[in-house]
Structures are given as structure tokens and as C-alpha cells.
Amino acid sequence: MTVIRSIVLIIVISALVACGSTPEKQNQTTTPVTAVNEVVDPYKDSQFYLKQASNTDRKSDQQSFLILATKSAIQEKKPLLFIESILSNIDVQDRHSVMLDIELAKALLYTGNTESAEIVVQRLQQGSISPRFAITMRVLDAQLQSIQENHLGVVKSLFQLQSLYENQISTSDQILVNNLIWKHILKVPYQTLTRFRTDFGTSSEAWIDLANIIGQYISDPVALPSQLDRWQRIYPNTVTLEELPLQVQQLLVVEPYKPTTIGLLLPLSGKLSKLAITIRDGFISAKPFDSLTTIHVLDTSLLTLEEIDAKITERGIDFIVGPLEKDTVSSFQQSKVISTIPRLNLNIPEIVPTQYDNTPDSYYYSLAPEDEIEQAIDLFLEREVKTPAVIFADNTLGKRLFERFNSAWFEATGKQAESIAFRNRSKLGEAVQQLLDVDASQARINEMKKLFGSRLETEARSRADIDAVYVIANSQQTRLIKPFFDVNISAFGKRLPIFASSRSYVVDESVQQKRDLNGMMFTEMPWLIKNTEPQLHDLYAKIGEQQTQSKKLFAFGYDAYNLIFALKQLKILPSQSLNGLTGMLSVKDNLTIKRQLSWSRYVQGKIIVQPEQNK
């Protein structure tokens, strides 16, 4: 009776939802209950099947009608909550016909209930299945692998499906297959994909070539359209345009930015002049020698907005990079001249871009340390860290970054992070002991000695629940913090993994300085850690200071130039990134640039770059 009451409630809710639209003329006579196999009809709606389920006391029939109701509800594009409410009355452990179990698995995957869908799919795989369900079963298995982010497994199984059942896959299944391939193929190394060329036929070749074109030419505004056009001519009948994923369709018609005259807006005089000049040098260094693009550098400290507008118009500037200061970014949004020109702002204003009329061609790029906080949270979740602790400098930046860490951790886990702030170097030891509860343990030991005498052999214990530490401090502070953790972990506890941001690292560290941080992991720009771009390092050595902040700003300017030609493509492909000096650069929904830095570890006086995690 409980199930029937639930079904009746679903019918009532559905009726209320439908009240906003003009009802179709209904036959007012009560629909008699009939056998399940007599009512499997593509023209019956979810309401029909729900009424059938409510009018029968036989559980197997109820379950069957409910499964058919979910199938119709999905086709009718009913709200997700409505579909989930129907599924909540279906026992996934019950065995149904193959057809009904397949529809149940589809509905569970549609609502994101992976665990229950896996139960149904495994049950289907264990039984004897008619060949007519072979394609559907393979697609279901690929969907499960997709949710588990098994990128290689999805691509391989779908290539095999297309090879075995060429011209037998329905249009709706083919669209689903193409979307699944596209979702995962760009995350599989190209060297791995090439092994499939001879295994799975022309269709796989088309996808492999497309993945190679995206990976190789995404930032080339001339070659990318040419290569995509060539791809269409080579494979005109392999993948039809209508069956291609929306992102691919958009890529085939996109026109990348190809500016002839770039305006670089920087505060070249005043307190920020040294920073601005370094950014300018990096930006100009990125321009190829044979490029016909002209760069005009405008000083935002000396020129008014009206004067800048006039120079932009006079010089025919068709792309703007800058300004650098947050307030200037906000004020320049009001310019009728600047707002009509595509631009890459070199800071993110206090007001999030999506909160005001942000034009489609206004992007935001900065070296904000918040990117590293998000990356640390992702790593902790991946490593299944349960109780992280954060130690941070008690200043404006330290508090801001800790608040960002804490809010992101709470959003992901529903828990607050353990934390302690330190005011100065002399308080670092106390801060670490307080964080680990070593001071409380020592106080208990002192009380014990008062009762049993000073000869009592004891050792202070640190708390055992903390399983990772994140340090928000500069390089000098980090070098003092790390040893305190090493000596305050009791003999009964495991050594705590310690992580830090790029603020903990400086170029040209001595071997001994690196030894002091042995075992610690940190994020940093690839250019400062990896032995890449040797010619660029040589160029920088001639024009810049061998100082950490200067090298970062030079790389910031260098990447800003290269980003121009990839922005539109990255906007279409948010999962893709440009391999820059400052990190792996991608475009988020609000048109801000996200930086993914390299994780590195101090190991016996050396810095070892950690391999990327690929599934």
C-alpha cells in the first residue's frame, strides 16, 4: 500500500506541474489494467503507466509499469525530481525482463544514480542476452565507464562497438556514442590513440585525427580552421554533421582571433612600473619574428581613459590586452570604445564578471593565488584526505587564502578545515604545537609528573586525526614551519604529508635549502621548475633579473600574448588547455582563465616534478 500511495502522490504532483500548460483533451473513462506486454507503446505517456501501476496490487506489474513510466518521463523531458521520485519506488534488486532492465539502467544513469545502475548492468551481463540488445548493452557499459572517468576504456569500447556494428547503430544511439567519444578522447594521450588506427576502422581514424588537430593546432588561428576543413573533406561520410557533438560543430565554424594591431595597456610609470615593464617584455618576447601583428603599448598611469580611447581609434587597434590594476579593469568597462573590442584583461575585478553586463569578448587572466588553493583542494579530495589542517600567516593575504580554502573545503565535504594562524617567526613553534595539540599533551604530562614524580618516562603525543597540512606562507616562513612539524609528530604517529603554494618557492635555492623542505609538495609554474624553453631562459637572462617574482611576471606577459589566438577555441572547449609557461591555461564559464600548475616534491636536495594523474 505504501508504494501505491507514493505513486498516487507522484501523479498528483505531476498534475500540478502540468497545470501551467493547456491540457490536452483526455478520455475521462478509467483505463482498465492490462498486462504489461500489452501496454508497451511508444505513444503512451508517463501518466498512463503511473495510473496502471497504482491500479494493480501485483508487485512485479507495479515495478514494470513504473520502469515504463520513467522511460516515457525522460522522453517527455519531465523534471529530474519527478523521474527520481518514480525510481525511488523501484527495487533495483528485482529481476525484470531484459528490455525493462535496460530501460531501468538507462533511467538510473540519466539521474546520475551510478551505484544502482551498476547493479542492474551487472545483472544483465550475467544473464543470457539476445543479440538484438548487444549494441544497447555496450553503450550502457560505456556510460558507466564514463561516469567512472575511465577515459581510455570509454574510447576503446566505443571504437570497438562502431567497428563491430557499422551501419547498425540507431541515430539516437550514434549521437550518444559520439558525445561519449568526444567527452573522453581529448583526455587520452595521442600516442595511445594511434595504436587504435589499425584496430577499429575509418570511424576511429576520424576521431583520432580530430583529437590530434585539436591538441596540435588549438592556439594557431590560421592552421586550426584549415586543418578542420581538411578533416571534413577527408571524412565526409564517416561522421555526419548532425550527429557530431555541439562543441565539434562550433569548432568547425569558429573564427579564432587574428588581430593585426594589439593594444597593450599597462601602468609603465608610477609604483607598478617595474612590474608592468617585465610583463611588457614577456609579451613582446612571445611575438614571432615573422609576425606582421603590430603592438602598441599605452601607459595607463599617464593617459586618461578618453586619451586611451582616442589612441585606440586612431591606431586601429582590434584587440586589447590589459589593463593590469583591478580598479582600472572595472573603470575601463564603461568605455564605449573599449567595450566594442575583444580584450584580455590582466586582472579580475572585485565584482565577478558575470554579475554585470560582461560582453562576450572580455576575458580575465591573472596570477591570482586562489587558483592554487582550488588545485590543493582537488588533490586532497583525490587522495581522500579527511582532516586537513591549514597553517597561515596572520596577514591580509594569509587570511584571504585561508578563507578561500576553508569555504572550498566546506563546499566539497561539509566540514571546516582545522587551522592556526601565526603572527611572527617566534610564534611558529607554538602555532604548530597548538595545531597538533602537542601543548595540551605536554600539559597532561606535567600534571602526571606532579602526581607520580619527575622520573616518570613520558612523551608528548600529537593528534592523530590530521592527515595533511597545507602551508600558506612565504619561502622563509615555510622553511621554519616545516621542521616544527617534523619534530612535533610523536613516535606513535605517521609523518604528516605537507603541501604548500608557489609562495614557498624561490629560484636558485641552494641544495641545503631544498633539504630543509625534504618531502614537502608544492605547486609552481612549469617554467620555473621544469627544464623547458631553454632559448627563452637565455633571452630572459639578458633582459631580466634572476628573481622569482620577475620571472613569473615575464611568463605572465608571454602567456598573455599566446592566449589571444586560443581564447575562442578554449571557450568552446573548457576541458582543454593551453600549455603555457604559467601553467595549463583553460577558460572557465565566466571567461576567467584558470591556471593548473605543476605539483613538485623536495627529495634529498632536489626538486622532482610529480607526474600528472591520468585514468
Supply the pLDDT for residue 458: 36
What is the pLDDT averaged over residues 374-395? 93
Domain check: are 245 and 202 in the same one?
Answer: yes
Q: Phi, psi at residue 333, to the nearest 5°?
A: -65, -25
Domain boundary among 500, 518, 534: 500
Q: Is the dihedral of CA 388, 393, 399, 404 positive or negative?
A: negative
Neighbours of 393 (CB within 10 A): 22
Do 410 and 460 belong together in one domain? yes
pLDDT score at 127:
79
Q: How many independent structural domains does the chain possess? A: 4
Q: What is the pLDDT of residue 513?
A: 84
Query: Residue 295 is part of a domain; what is its CATH number?
Result: 3.40.50.2300
Say if CB 214 and CB 573 are below 8 A apart.
Answer: yes
pLDDT band at 438 (very low <50, low <70, confident <90, very high): very low
Q: Please tell me the distance from the alpha carbon of residue 527 to that of residue 91, in angstroms, as a whole number.
A: 55
Same domain, yes or no, for 222 and 345? no
Question: Torsion angle, CA of 375/376/382/388, rounded to 10 degrees?
Answer: -160
Does residue 110 lie in a domain region?
yes
DSSP class of residue 615 equals -
Q: Are residues 381 and 437 in the same domain?
A: yes
> What was the pLDDT predicted at 66?
93
Under 8 Å between Cβ of 10 and 50: yes
Measured N-to-C along each axis, helices 201-217 and 151-164 cross at an angle, to the nearest 10 degrees, of 140
For the ranges 149-158, 460-469, 487-496, the one whose mean pLDDT is highest:
149-158
* Residue 10 CB neighbours (<10 A): 23
Mean pLDDT across 337-352: 89
355 and 374 together in one domain: no
Shared domain for 379 and 466, answered yes or no, is yes
pLDDT band at 512 (very low <50, low <70, confident <90, very high): confident
How far apart are alpha carbons 580 and 595 in whole angstroms? 9
Quick one: residue 299, left, alpha or beta (phi over 0 = left, psi -120 to 50 = alpha)? beta
Last residue in a domain, options 451, 483, 500: 500
All cell numbers assigned to 191: 600516442
The helix (run of H) or strand (run of E) holding residue 14 is helix 2-17
Is 108 part of a structural domain of the chain?
yes
User: Do residues 42 and 92 both lie within one domain?
Assistant: yes
Q: Can you state the angle between helices 246-253 and 223-234, rounded to 10 degrees?
A: 120
Percent of the chain whose pLDDT exceeds 90: 53
| Chain segment 528-562, per-residue pLDDT in tens | 887 677 788 788 887 777 788 999 999 999 999 99
- Report pLDDT for 310: 97
Contact 412, 374 (CB under 8 A): no
Q: Are residues 116 and 187 in the same domain?
A: no
Which pLDDT band holds residue 433 (cuts at 50, 70, 90)?
Answer: low
Decide which of 255, 275, 293 is a domain's last residue.
255
122 and 100 part of one domain = yes
Question: Does some domain include residue 100?
Answer: yes
Query: Contacts from 103-107 at CB under 8 Å and sequence distance 24+?
Result: 103/67, 103/68, 103/70, 103/71, 104/67, 104/70, 105/140, 106/71, 106/74, 106/140, 107/67, 107/70, 107/71, 107/74, 107/83
Q: Is the dihedral of CA 44, 46, 50, 56 positive or negative?
A: positive
Single out the residue of 610, 562, 584 nearest to residue 187, CA to CA. 584
Which alpha helices (H) appear in 453-547, and where do they start and end? 475-488, 511-516, 526-529, 534-543
pLDDT class of 444 with cuts at 50, 70, 90: very low
C-alpha grid cell, residue 73: 518521463
State the pLDDT at residue 104. Answer: 93
> b/e string for 559-595 if b means 16 or more Cβ within 10 A?
bbbbbbbbbbbbbbbeebbbebbbbbbbbeeebbbbb
**Domain presence at residue 8:** yes
Average pLDDT over residues 573-595: 93
Q: Mean pLDDT over all residues of the chain?
A: 84
Q: Is the pLDDT of residue 308 over 70?
A: yes
Residue 582 grid coordinates: 604559467
User: Please, are residues 348 and 368 in contact by the beta-carbon 8 Å criterion?
Assistant: yes
DSSP β-bridge partners for residue 606 = 603
**Other residues' Cβ atoms within 10 Å of the Cβ of residue 43:** 6
Confidence at residue 357, expressed as pLDDT on a 0 to 100 scale: 53
Average pLDDT over residues 512-530: 89
**∠ CA 485-488-493, rounded to 5°:** 95
Residue 61 located in a structural domain: yes
CA 417 to chain centre: 22
Question: For residue 105, what are the domain limits?
Answer: 1-129
Lowest mean pLDDT among 18-32, 51-65, 113-127, 264-278: 18-32
- Checking if the pLDDT of 494 tops 80, the result is no
Report residue 349's pLDDT band, with 50, 70 and 90 as the boundaries.
confident
Q: How far is CA 175 from the centre of its chain?
A: 24
Q: d(Cα 134, Cα 119) in Å, to the nearest integer?
A: 18
Asked whether residue 597 is assigned to any structural domain, the reply reads no
Residues 344, 342: Cα–Cα separation, whole Å: 7
The CA distance from 102 to 64, in Å, is 12
Same domain for 120 and 4?
A: yes
Number of CB atoms found within 10 A of residue 387's CB:
14
Closest CA to 485 of 434, 445, 450, 561: 434
Beta strands at 468-472 and 498-500: parallel, antiparallel or unpaired? parallel
Asked if pLDDT for residue 508 goes beyond 70, the answer is yes
Q: What pTM, to 2 d.p., does this model score?
A: 0.81
Which residue from 389, 480, 473, 494 is spatially nearest to 436, judged by alpha carbons? 389
Task: State whether 351 and 441 are in the same domain.
Answer: no
Residue 44 has a pLDDT of 81
**Mean pLDDT for the stretch of residues 240-263:** 91
| Pair (269, 226) in one structural domain | no
Spatial contact of 392 and 419, defined as CB atoms under 8 Å apart: yes
Containing H/E element for 90? none
